């Protein structure tokens, strides 16, 4: 599989890339299959079953409304968090759902989205089973999906076996390990960002890559701004109060000569702001997951505020480098908290952020990874 920087950085909504973004994508893909095969108009009912971790925490992580939004034709990077909730509430109240935004069926959210709290499917803890039936009960389509972290979706029915719902586009500089990536930088005399950019040109023009990465950056900035200006209590039964807005006010009121500790407090603020927005179901960027979404933007915001000369070009190089390192983790290990724990996704994000920062302060590519290990090294 070829992994793009835009696979690692995806605009979505909180609180979870594996439990919110992934299920929404899977439901959207399922309806797309119905439409492509000419079965949408014949569909009278849809049933969605969530297994394992999705079934156990589906309500708290927003998996149920995410499925409803996906079936209704909405995608994570486009859906507006402001009206997403009211849309799901309307489906729940009316008992009607427009599949793909066009074909209306009867749909009872509490009955047609089933949470199996103590059952799992074979391939991954985050399993989904979707069924579409005709009016006479005939099964028109049955599909199994797995949300494997970072918004990635696994479709076991693709080709001859399990495959991520992505493509295998040939790229200029293919790599799957850290050693291969560093070898490419030495062979071609390029920084990591330029190796990754050359690969991205297999899908988009350079101008498009730049524009989309700067859009990613703008979403990160908007997320931090919302997070640092919004007070109140986060969703959930624990009644956790937001802290980022108060911390921002404290830092802006600080006097005296800034020092390293002062800068670190701003990094903490940026990360906290994103985490609180994610917990509130707001718009965030997977980096590489929602659970770790605060780390990369926090370091990039730090660079923009405290490192001289950081402009849009530097932002693009930062994100390309971070995306390349994230791809190594996705290819060789995992970014999924369900598979490797929260430390796995947070560790991946830390490596991505460190690599991006090393790139824009002028460090050589070898500084963007840990000391050399084996050929299977991923960082």
Query: Is residue 5 one of the residues assigned to a domain?
Result: no
Residue 370: is its pLDDT beyond 90? no
Residues 142 and 195 in one domain: no
Query: Is residue 6 one of the residues assigned to a domain?
Result: no
Last residue of a domain, one of 164, 187, 203: 164
Dist CA 103 CA 45 (whole Å): 11
Query: Is residue 28 one of the residues assigned to a domain?
Result: yes
pLDDT (tens digit, 9 = 90+) per residue, 141-152?
999 999 988 888
Dist CA 116 CA 55 (whole Å): 5
Q: What is the dihedral of CA 370, 154, 11, 265, to 10 degrees?
A: -40
Last residue of a domain, one of 141, 164, 187: 164
| Cβ neighbours around 67 below 10 Å, total | 28
Helix (H, G, I), strand (E, B) or coil at 198: helix
Question: Which CATH number does the domain housing residue 88 bear?
Answer: 3.30.1330.90
- In the block, tokens 């890559």 appear at 209
pLDDT (tens digit, 9 = 90+) per residue, 330-367?
999 888 887 788 888 999 999 999 999 999 999 988 76
Residues 100 and 202 in one domain: no
- Give the residue with greater pLDDT, 270 vs 58: 270
Query: Is residue 231 one of the residues assigned to a domain?
Result: yes
Query: Is residue 63 one of the residues assigned to a domain?
Result: yes
Residues 154 and 243 in one domain: no
- CB of 322 closer than 8 Å to CB of 361: no
Nearest to 61 by CA among 14, 29, 100: 14
Residues 354 and 221 in one domain: yes
pLDDT (tens digit, 9 = 90+) per residue, 65-97?
999 999 999 999 999 999 999 999 999 999 999
pLDDT (tens digit, 9 = 90+) per residue, 27-41?
999 999 999 999 999
Query: Is residue 56 one of the residues assigned to a domain?
Result: yes
pLDDT (tens digit, 9 = 90+) per residue, 151-165?
889 988 764 444 444
The overall longest dimension of the chain from CA atoms, in Å, is 75
Dist CA 190 CA 181 (whole Å): 10
Distances (CA, A) of 220 to 15, 264, 294, 301, 330: 15, 18, 9, 9, 22
| Cβ neighbours around 316 below 10 Å, total | 23
- CB of 128 closer than 8 Å to CB of 51: yes
Residues 150 and 235 in one domain: no
CA atoms in the 13 A half-sphere facing the CB of 126? 28
Residues 363 and 341 in one domain: yes
**Residue 338: alpha-carbon gap to chain centroid:** 14
Residues 99 and 190 in one domain: no
Quick one: 336 exposed, middle or buried, by C-beta within 10 A (0-12, 13-18, 19+)? buried
**Where in the sequence is the domain holding 303, given as residue range(s)?**
178-368
Residues 222 and 338 in one domain: yes
Nearest to 141 by CA among 24, 32, 19: 32
Residues 248 and 133 in one domain: no
Query: Length of the chain, please?
Result: 379
Total domains, the chain: 2
Residue 311: is its pLDDT beyond 60? yes
- CB of 172 closer than 8 Å to CB of 42: no
Query: Is residue 171 one of the residues assigned to a domain?
Result: no
Residues 186 and 318 in one domain: yes
Quick one: 269 exposed, middle or buried, by C-beta within 10 A (0-12, 13-18, 19+)? buried
The pair of three-digit structure tokens given for residue 170, joined into one six-digit string: 């040939």
308 contact partners, CB below 8 Å, separation of at least 6 = none
**Would you place residue 377 in the very low, low, confident or very high pLDDT band (cuts 50, 70, 90)?**
very low
Residues 329 and 364 in one domain: yes
Residues 24 and 86 in one domain: yes
| Cβ neighbours around 65 below 10 Å, total | 25
- Give the residue with greater pLDDT, 312 vs 366: 312
Query: Is residue 232 one of the residues assigned to a domain?
Result: yes
Last residue of a domain, one of 164, 195, 230: 164
3 contact partners, CB below 8 Å, separation of at least 6 = 166, 327, 330, 331
């Amino acid at each position: 599989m070829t992994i793009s920087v835009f696979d690692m950085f995806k605009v979505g909504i909180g609180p979870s890339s594996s439990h919110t973004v992934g299920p929404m994508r899977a439901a959207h893909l399922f309806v797309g299959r119905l439409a492509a095969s000419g079965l949408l108009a014949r569909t009278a009912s849809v049933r969605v079953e969530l297994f394992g971790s999705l079934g156990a925490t589906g309500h708290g992580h927003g998996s149920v409304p995410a499925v409803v939004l996906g079936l209704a034709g909405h995608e994570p990077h486009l859906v507006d968090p402001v009206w997403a909730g009211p849309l799901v509430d309307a489906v729940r109240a009316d008992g009607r759902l427009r599949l793909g935004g066009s074909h209306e069926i009867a749909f009872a959210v509490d009955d047609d989205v089933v949470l199996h709290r103590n059952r799992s499917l074979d391939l991954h803890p985050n399993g989904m089973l979707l069924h579409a039936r005709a009016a006479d009960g005939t099964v028109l389509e049955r599909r199994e999906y797995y949300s494997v972290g970072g918004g990635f979706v696994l479709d076991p029915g693709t080709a001859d076996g399990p495959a991520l719902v992505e493509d295998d586009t040939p790229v200029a500089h293919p790599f799957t390990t850290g050693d291969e990536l560093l070898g490419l930088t030495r062979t071609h005399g390029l920084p990591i960002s330029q190796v990754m950019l050359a690969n991205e040109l297999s899908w988009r023009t350079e101008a498009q890559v730049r524009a989309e990465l700067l859009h990613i950056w703008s979403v990160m900035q908007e997320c931090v701004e919302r997070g640092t200006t919004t007070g109140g209590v986060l969703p959930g039964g624990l009644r956790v109060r937001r802290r980022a807005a108060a911390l921002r006010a404290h830092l802006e009121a600080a006097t005296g000569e800034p020092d390293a500790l002062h800068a670190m407090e701003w990094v903490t603020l940026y990360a906290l702001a994103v985490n609180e927005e994610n917990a509130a179901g707001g718009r965030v960027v997977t980096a590489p997951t929602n659970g770790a979404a605060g780390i990369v933007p926090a370091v990039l915001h730090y660079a923009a505020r405290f490192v001289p000369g950081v402009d849009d070009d530097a932002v693009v190089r930062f994100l390309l480098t971070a995306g390349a390192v994230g791809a190594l983790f996705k290819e060789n290990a995992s970014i999924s908290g369900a598979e490797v724990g929260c430390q796995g996704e947070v560790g991946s994000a830390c490596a991505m952020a460190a690599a991006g920062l090393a790139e824009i302060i002028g460090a050589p590519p070898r500084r963007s990874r840990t000391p050399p290990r084996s050929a299977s090294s991923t960082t």
